[in-house]
Structure 1
Amino acid sequence: MRHIEIMDTTLRDGEQTSGVSFSASEKLTIAQLLLKEVMVDRLEVASARVSAGEFDAVKKITEWAAENDCLDKIEVLTFVDGETSVNWMLEAGAKVMNLLTKGSLNHLTHQLKKTPEQHFSEIAQVIALARSKDILCNVYLEDWSNGMRNSPEYVFQYLDFLTKEPIKRVLLPDTLGVLTPRETFDFLDAIVKRYPNTHFDFHAHNDYDLSIANVMEAIRAGVQGLHLTVNGMGERAGNAPLASTIAVINDFMPDVKTAVVEKSLYSVSKLVETFSGFRIPVNKPVVGENVFTQTAGIHADGDNKKNLYFNNLMPERFGRLRQYALGKTSGKANIEKNLQELGITLADADLKKVTQRIIELGDRKEAVTREDLPYIISDILDSSAIEEKVVVLNYVLTHSKNLKPSATLQVQIGEEIFEESAQGDGQYDAFMNALKKIYCQKNIELPQLTDYAVRIPPGGKTDALCETIITWAYNGRSLKTRGLDSDQTVSAIIATQKMLNLI
């Protein structure tokens, strides 16, 4: 099997994501995790000369790497600038430089305004200086992909020169993310065959969402290294994502291997998400929150019947678990899967009621969580024992700054319909005051509220289901009723309606 080197450039190219800037301590933490747990082969951690903060970050990383015998795995992007970048690296303690040079005649002519011979001469001087300072040199051919499209004679002229220099690797970036898979293979196949003794890395960008396809073709063409980023971070549409690339290599390319540990990919993904503030799309392959969640009931049913909806991307490979979403598309199978996880068994009749309740909630709320289930079951079983003779048909609740909250409600008692309005110290108090007016007309005294408790499932968010449990004193005894809704006041009104029917 052919080993493919993985160079992670999250801390350099990934940090070029708009709005992202890692602190020195964050960079060190990410570097440690990538090298020691994810087990990538190399890290590109910064660009030389960027800032004092960047220098401090590189120095922290190189000091740690030197103590842990992996300094040769730390790389820094440098420039053709005489002694400047080399001296910066020496001060930062780095030993591997990735020299940025021009890989297309268009860039060379219009940006540097130099001839190929002038450019090659300056590159040779930097490489010689780096070597004299015991710094290993890799070389980037910026805009190489457009160079192969529009000025291939220049690219080969440059490679003829470069492959005779004392460098370790040639780094070929699709800088603007413009390559098609066929071009990627054709260009790299021609280069690898012409220079069989040179190590080539491929650096994909994702502007056309083709980075993974291009990576596959690059491997097929014979490259020996890939540049990837955690969560696909990078300029514009980002770079080829680490997690997806490793999954594709492991599942579809049996003749090659990497050293990357799949089980560590999710943890580094979440760490980088936290440090960068760059949120992972929920549907991002391998690391997105939803990618191992079955939503349709038919899928859960199929999984119960010989795992019919499983593929090779098993969540356990990445330290994750399969989940079954609860919402309006849930069937009994989805709910049963979640109940199994909670150790709960329901009779068929109750299961049908719970299923219907979840579908109703799903029409109003994007998703119901597994943690919501015990609350829903409690609400269903509680409601089943109560015959509804009193119904709160409609209500309007208002709350304004420096004005008393008010409520207008319409209640049906038997065949009669009543409507009243009132103010109160809060929306629920206003609701109760209006309700008391209605019951005064019926000469019925309402129970006294003695306790009011609200709770949401553990880890619940602002849209979580809310259970309100109200204790009432009535005719010398205590009543407890529950209400369940994503709105706290509404859940209290539901609990109150249950009380009205009980009395």
Structure 2
Amino acid sequence: MEKRKIEIMDTTLRDGEQTSGVSFPSAEKLTIAKLLLEELNVDRIEVASARVSEGEFQAVKAITDWANLNGYIERVEMLTFVDGGKSIDWMLNAGAKVQNLLTKGSLNHLTHQLKKTPEQHFSEIKEVVDLAENAGIKTNVYLEDWSNGMHNSPEYVFQFLDFLVTLPLERILLPDTLGVLTPSETYNYFSQITLKYPTVHFDFHAHNDYDLSVANVMESIKAGAKGLHLTVNGMGERAGNAPMASVVAVINDFFKDKVEIQVKETALYSTSKLIEAFSGVRIPSNKPVVGDNVFTQTAGIHADGDNKNNLYFNNLMPERFGRKRKYALGKTSGKANIEKNLQELGLKLNDEDLKKVTQRIIELGDQKELVTKEDLPYIISDVLDSNLYQEKIIIESYVLTHSKGLKPSTTVALKIDDQYIQEHAQGDGQFDAFMNALKKIYKSKGLSLPTLVDYAVRIPPGSTSDALCETIITWETEEKRFITRGLDSDQTVSAIKATQKMLNI
């Protein structure tokens, strides 16, 4: 049986940008657009709303200029409005070729927001569609509040669809604007429509207010949807939209015999992390597919099972998404978790020593301390009083200065293999100045430092300004990515402690 092709339309740059506090500058929008089309390989992207601001116009112009040069212009879409052609003029100036026209999909919205009759609304829509066709712009139509329209005014919805199918449209877009649908309702409503209009291309646009967006997307696929609207990390207004990574994994695992998509799974995680960095919206650690902890086994019995025919694996193998399985170290770890981490470090302990190290990690876990793979050599040396780990690089001393009107500066004295080296540098902040001084030292020895890719600081909830501060820094080399932590009452000092661990790792 021939598989049904489903289009994936990413709306991170339009609907996702409506996440509270998020605004992507022009350069970031262009970078994201390139990533979505070239690396993730989505079918289409919705990048902006017409007539929002001059900055938005410049961002769209940059994207359309690039898309025109690279053959992507038909895959770049704009949200437009029934405004007598003003949005069409905006699109022409911006170089865009596909509009997603926002119309009213419920009688409630039409009556109380626009205060118009269906006939008036339809007439104005036709005017805009005709203008677009004459201008060489393709049209898709959104039925805003469609889900409530099906709840409360289905006669109007079908009257509207009967009218729309007479127009020169590419697609009709059916949004659950307020995230109110249940899975059974999604299947029922979508089926009614696809059965009545079997040749029309319908997209489903899900919101996640009840955490049902992925389930609703599944039901829309069963009911004949030909396109899905998703956002990276589920970004969007209120509780967000249906998340890209989860939906792609669901389709590839549960619909692989019936439908196909062209999105590249291996690019999901890197795309997700870039959007996290640009938006400033952190990915929950337990978010499926892309969360930091979703491929981390914590319980020792699970690590033991993984050693015995992968008893605790499912189809969501981390390698599919460019990731690796991890084994957490804490009070529930057990010997199997620790052995897994030791293997990665190339270390082996006898049973008696392994018991001692396991007990120490359990004690740290009881104190709510987080233990990483990179901490193991420290712990082994401490518990076994061995020479397995020796600090070859020590930050002997440093001076941090921060004065109003002057750039922060740092003087660092470092001991490397008993050689004492001192350097001074400035930076955008005290820690940046400290890192710049370190780079000078390393450069003088023909060495390079790992790249700092994430920096997080936290204090216990409810603490005061004198609280202990934990700095968690993620580093990356060509071979691996790893995390170090530092603890101190001073934020910069805690970061320096984390950095000294990095230097020795």
Q: TM-score range by the shorter chain?
A: 0.7 to 0.9
- For 1:372, the aligned partner's letter is D
The answer for the alignment partner of 1:127 in structure 2 is 129
Q: Which amino acid aligns with 1:329?
A: T
The alpha carbon displacement at 1:384 in A equals: 11
Instruction: Indicate the residue corresponding to 2:411 in structure 1.
Output: none
User: Contact 1:38 / 1:265 at 8 angstroms: preserved in 2?
Assistant: yes
Match of 1:272 in 2: 275
Q: Calculate the aligned-residue CA RMSD, in Å.
A: 2.1
Percent of aligned positions that are identical: 73
In the superposition, relative to structure 1, how do residues 372 and 163 fare at CA in structure 2: closer, same or farther (>3 Å)?
A: same
Q: How many residues align?
A: 401
State how 1:332-351 maps to structure 2 within 5 Å: 332-351=335-354
Residue 228 of structure 1 pairs with residue 230 of structure 2: yes
Counterpart of 1:15, as a letter, is E
Structure 1 residues not aligned, in runs of 5+: 386-450, 452-457, 466-484, 490-503
| Equivalence map 1:237-256=2 (5 Å) | 237-254=239-256, 255-256=258-259
Bigger Rg, which one: 1
CA distance in 1, matches of 2:180, 2:487: 49
Equivalent of 2:44 in 42, 45, 70:
42
Contact 2:4 2:259 in 1 (8 A): yes
Query: Which secondary structure state, in structure 2, belongs to the residue aligned with residue 167 of structure 1?
Result: coil
Cross-structure match for 2:400:
none
Give 1:30-109 correspondences, 5 Å limit: 30-109=32-111
In 2, the alpha carbon distance for the partners of 1:182 and 1:285 equals 23
Match of 1:257 in 2: 260
Residue deviations 1:151-173 (CA, integer Å, cap 9, x gap): 00000000000011001000000
Cα pair 2:77 2:97 within 8 Å, conserved: yes
CA distance in 2, matches of 1:488, 1:214: 47
Q: 2:313 aligns with which of 287, 307, 310?
A: 310
Is 2:334 the partner of 1:353? no
Report the counterpart of residue 170 of structure 2 in structure 1: 168
Q: Per the alignment, in what secondary structure is the counterpart of residue 141 of structure 1?
A: strand
Asked if the contact 2:300–2:337 (Cα under 8 Å) also holds between the matched residues in 1, the reply is yes
1:295 and 2:313 correspond: no
- Given that 2:470 and 2:488 are in contact with CA atoms closer than 8 Å, whether structure 1 keeps it comes out as no
Q: Is the 8 A contact 2:381 2:387 kept in 1?
A: no
> How far apart are the structure 2 equivalents of 1:83 and 1:179?
33
Residue 138 of structure 1 aligns to a residue whose secondary structure is strand
Letter in 1 for 2:351: D
Given the two structures, how large is their TM-score scaled by the length of structure 1?
A: 0.77
How far apart are residue 197 of structure 1 and its match? 1.2
The one-letter amino acid paired with 1:167 is: L
* C-alpha contact 1:62 1:93 (8 A) present in aligned 2: yes
How many Å separate the matches in 2 of 1:48 and 1:38?
A: 25
Note the alpha carbon deviations across 1:155-193, whole angstroms, 9 max, x for none. Answer: 000000001100100000000000000110010101001
Query: What SS does structure 2 have at the residue aligned with 1:244?
Result: helix
CA-to-aligned-CA distance 1:267-323 (integer Å, 9 cap, x gap): 000000000001100000000000000001110001001000000000000000000
**1:316 match: secondary structure:** helix
1:106 and 1:273 map into 2 onto residues whose CA distance is 37
| 1:384 to 1:375, Cα distance in 2 relative to 1, 3 A | closer
Distance 2:369 2:276 in 1: 23
**Aligned twin of 2:18:** 16
- 1:202 corresponds in structure 2 to 204
CA 1:57 to 1:181, structure 2 compared with 1: closer, same or farther past 3 Å? same
The question of 1:215 aligning with 2:217 is answered yes
Deviation of 1:64 after TM superposition, in Å, equals 0.4
Aligned amino acid, residue 228 of structure 1: L
After TM superposition, the score normalised by the length of structure 2 is 0.77
Deviation at 1:381, TM superposition (A): 1.9
**Cα shift readout 1:234-286 (whole Å, capped 9, x = no counterpart):** 00000000000000000011211100000000000000000000110000000
Shift of 1:365: 3.4
CA distance in 1, matches of 2:28, 2:471: 32
Q: Distance in 2 between matches of 1:384 and 1:139?
A: 69
